[in-house]
Structure 1
Amino acid sequence: MIAKQPLARRIVIAFTLTTLVVSGAFALSIVAVVHFIEEQLVSEALSREMDTVLSEDLPRGQPPKLDASTRFFASHLPRYALPEGLAALDEGFTELVRGDEAYYVYVRDIAGERYVLVEDQHEFEARENVLFNVVLAGFLLSVVGAWGLGWLMAQRVMAPVTRLAQQVRHRDQLHPLAPPLALQYPDDEVGHLAAAFDSTLGQLRQTLERERLFTSDVSHELRTPLMVILGACELLDQAELPAPARQKTVRVQRAAQEMHELVQTFLLLARARPETSALGGNATLARVAQEQVERWAPLLREKGLHFECVEEGHDSGLYNLTLLGTVMSNLLRNALHYTESGVVRLVLGHGGFRVEDSGPGIPLEQQERMFQPFVRGCEARGEGLGLGLSLVKRICAHQGWTVSVQQLPPQGSCFQVVLGSDPA
């Protein structure tokens, strides 16, 4: 459990536990030493008093000269009759506890006779309790002080690490001109960590730049042949062609148009650096939906599917036409591929839209994976590579939108896109 705690808290816990163990051991050693010294000193004192009583007081017929807290007993002297509870004690020093009372007892046997000195521990116990309370207070104060000192040390130790983490998380670190982090820290463990981050971030910047240049170059180079294909399709559309040839021309034109839109999307994403904000636009959700309905409704109905576009709420936001069109187009294409019969619905609402179908649906355990590149459903159809939903996820992440999928009863899927407020 401690390993899962934040590092600063682990430092405080470790510091406090160390102090707890050391202070506890020190306090216990004090208690043990006090008890040992108590036994030795009291035993020696009672032994000397017993010698005095036996060698001086009793031979002279005088009562033992003892203080008020000490009493003398002898087994053969009626005046100092020995209580029954003391007769069974072993010879030597003993501590006797009876209820709330505690006594020091010293027993000496001489010629079959037993002599006993009993001293009340009340005063000594009072002083001992004061000492133990002081030790306990010192122990508790040391633990509290260790916690406070550990917290201060943790804050000071973690300050450069926290600062480094904030700098690494900042989006400006992916900028090619971002200053090195290692120069801002001394040559210690944190400085070495900053140098490692510099190396990794440098490699990441190079990789992102190569990807951006590749995507931009490929997309740019594809625009010219695509425009040639689209121009040729327009010329063929104006010519007198047989019905089969015209159908093929329409398919080529539609495929070229889709590729042209994808190229535009890739160009926009490639030119938008990670540190830039969402791309704005001037297209409403209704306008984008109308264009996609005109494009996909014939294909859906041609497959025998019932298609409908429903407006449940009005959305007045302005969005990027190319990016929003690509998102909606990919979701409708996905519904077309995976729905063999039934209905496909495009539902527009305030702040977003959703695409519903009556296809086989997506199991709950696979729903998150469907947005990963090259991942296709269990009943994959067509010649797709599993990049459509991945592109949708990437566009939504860049624009600040969210896309999710859920199962529809009794079967089917619902892809919902929640649109943020794009800058106009």
Structure 2
Amino acid sequence: MYRYSLRKRVAIAFAMCVAVLSVVWGFAFFSAIRLSEDRVLAQQLQRAAESYPSLTMNLRGYDEVGSLPESLREWAQTNPAEGLYEFHTEELHVAVIPTNNEQRNAFVVFDVAGIEAASSEDWWLLLVITGVVGALGALGFGLGVLVMRRAVAPVAQLAKVVADIDPEKLSTEDHKRIESSRFGDDEVGVLARTIEKTLERISAFVERERYFTGSASHELRTPITVIMGALELLEQSDLSESDAKVVDRVRRATFEMKATIEMFLCLARETDDGLYGEQFLVMPLVSQAIDQQRHLLNGKCVDVEIDDLSKPIACGHSQAFSIAVNNLVRNAFEHTLEGQGTITIHIKEHELFVTNKVSSEANEGHTPTEASSHGYGLGLGIVQRLCERNRWSFSLHADEARVAARLSW
């Protein structure tokens, strides 16, 4: 396993890359210098061999301006300062040297004719140097990528493992792949241990959720079923008017409790994803919700109008849709007072509107809101979550004249 931390490995990799490139560039420059020296000496030797047996002298010294080559005499008469001069046309290099006589200087002339490379050779040499530099640059880039990839390989491996894990469907193999012991004790190991602990907590939470929903589904519904059965037997017996009203209130409260239990179980359940793709008719569920909540209009002079222009079909969880519609209808029935007008339920192909009018006295000082459930029951927050779960859209608009809930699918 890795002996150093990720930070140290990256620093070491960078230092190694720079060191290798420096050595390669050093060898390249050293080789270029040696080749230049060898070439100059080879050119001088070649020129001497061509003039054998009378050997030519490339370097000559001159004490007098008049003894200089004719092409340099006019320039020498200007009394140039001490230094080195180059004459490209004459292919001469001249060194001006001071002498004891302050009135004149000495000259050393180096004839490079036949020694310096021709212009065409210069272009070839430039091309070769460019190619070498480009090759070294590519080598450095490839080396840097290779070294850095090796340095950050644990991070890439951990990222790949995490990307392949589905948090909603954790398995034993997922826990083995993310096992922190595979990533050492450096920063990557710390990150792997944190992710491992997080996955363990998620797995434990999902297991508790499955156990709870499985147990609650049976333990909570059983007493409700018993109560509803007992109420049916009571309703069949001879009851006084006051007892019948009490039984009716118990029946409604029991039904609301059953709806609440089903609503929360529907939100908590993770194992019925297959039901979120079913298709169902909207109108029967709306009619059922109206019938179940109609008792809330007892004692109120309020009309309910259903504007059904089509027979829409929605896609999702039918029970979740029924719960959402029940909440919207119940809120409309509960918050509509006598004399406030008609409750309208408008059904389109992909939308459902539940609208109830409100009096200005009841809403004095009320500020219009958009998509706000404040004052309209906890149920609207649950409706929002059910819609998000089924990829439906829900909004609520309230102003001084009316409250309109919109559910689209």
SS of the residue corresponding to residue 347 of structure 2 reads strand
Number of positions where the alignment pairs a residue of Structure 1 with one of Structure 2: 362
Q: Which has the larger radius of gyration?
A: 2
Match of 2:176 in 1: 182
What displacement does 1:325 show? 0.8
Q: Residue type matched to 2:72 in 1?
A: A
In 2: Cα distance, 1:255 partner to 1:346 partner: 25
In 2: Cα distance, 1:303 partner to 1:86 partner: 126
The answer to whether the 8 Å contact 1:296/1:332 transfers is yes
Match of 1:380 in 2: 374
What displacement does 1:105 show? 5.5
Q: Residue type matched to 1:206 in 2?
A: A
TM-score normalised according to structure 2 size: 0.59
Structure 2 unaligned spans of 5+: 1-9, 45-55, 359-366
The answer to whether the 8 Å contact 2:310/2:348 transfers is yes
1:403 aligns with 2:393: yes
Q: Residue type matched to 1:254 in 2?
A: R
What displacement does 1:326 show? 0.5
What displacement does 1:168 show? 2.2
Going from structure 1 to structure 2, the CA distance change for 1:390 and 1:205 (only over 3 Å counts) comes to farther
* 1:296-311 alignment runs, 5 A limit: 296=293, 299=296, 308-311=305-308
The answer to whether the 8 Å contact 2:259/2:323 transfers is yes
Q: 1:115 aligns with which of 88, 107, 113?
A: 107
Match of 1:81 in 2: 72
Match of 2:241 in 1: 241
Q: Matched residues, percent identical?
A: 17
Q: Residue type matched to 2:391 in 1?
A: W
With 261-270 and 284-293 compared, the bigger mean Cα shift is at 261-270
The answer to whether the 8 Å contact 2:97/2:106 transfers is yes
The answer to whether the 8 Å contact 1:407/1:414 transfers is yes
Q: Residue type matched to 1:136 in 2?
A: V
SS of the residue corresponding to residue 241 of structure 2 reads coil
CA offset digits 1:128-172 (Å, max 9, x no partner): 524421332213432564587579869986774355224421643
The answer to whether the 8 Å contact 1:215/1:266 transfers is no
1:325 aligns with 2:322: yes
Going from structure 1 to structure 2, the CA distance change for 1:77 and 1:95 (only over 3 Å counts) comes to closer
Going from structure 1 to structure 2, the CA distance change for 1:33 and 1:221 (only over 3 Å counts) comes to same
* 1:215-364 alignment runs, 5 A limit: 215-218=213-216, 220-223=218-221, 225-227=223-225, 230=228, 231-232=230-231, 235=234, 239-241=239-241, 252-267=250-265, 272-274=269-271, 276-278=273-275, 284-296=281-293, 299=296, 308-316=305-313, 321-333=318-330, 346-350=345-349, 353=352, 355=354, 362=369
Structure 1 unaligned spans of 5+: 1-12, 49-63, 368-376, 419-424
In 1: Cα distance, 2:276 partner to 2:208 partner: 22
SS of the residue corresponding to residue 261 of structure 1 reads helix
In 2: Cα distance, 1:159 partner to 1:361 partner: 52
In 1: Cα distance, 2:341 partner to 2:12 partner: 67
In 2: Cα distance, 1:116 partner to 1:133 partner: 35
Going from structure 1 to structure 2, the CA distance change for 1:227 and 1:30 (only over 3 Å counts) comes to same
* 1:183-222 alignment runs, 5 A limit: 187-189=181-183, 197-218=195-216, 220-222=218-220
What displacement does 1:380 show? 2.6
The CA RMSD over aligned residues, in Å, is: 5.9
Going from structure 1 to structure 2, the CA distance change for 1:228 and 1:183 (only over 3 Å counts) comes to closer
Going from structure 1 to structure 2, the CA distance change for 1:102 and 1:141 (only over 3 Å counts) comes to farther
In 1: Cα distance, 2:163 partner to 2:14 partner: 30
Going from structure 1 to structure 2, the CA distance change for 1:416 and 1:81 (only over 3 Å counts) comes to same
Match of 2:133 in 1: 136
The answer to whether the 8 Å contact 1:406/1:415 transfers is yes
Match of 2:361 in 1: none
The answer to whether the 8 Å contact 1:282/1:318 transfers is yes
In 1: Cα distance, 2:345 partner to 2:223 partner: 33
In 1: Cα distance, 2:15 partner to 2:357 partner: 64
Q: Residue type matched to 2:374 in 1?
A: A
In 2: Cα distance, 1:167 partner to 1:283 partner: 35
In 1: Cα distance, 2:135 partner to 2:24 partner: 9
What displacement does 1:260 show? 1.0
With 129-138 and 179-188 compared, the bigger mean Cα shift is at 179-188
Going from structure 1 to structure 2, the CA distance change for 1:127 and 1:282 (only over 3 Å counts) comes to closer
Going from structure 1 to structure 2, the CA distance change for 1:298 and 1:236 (only over 3 Å counts) comes to closer
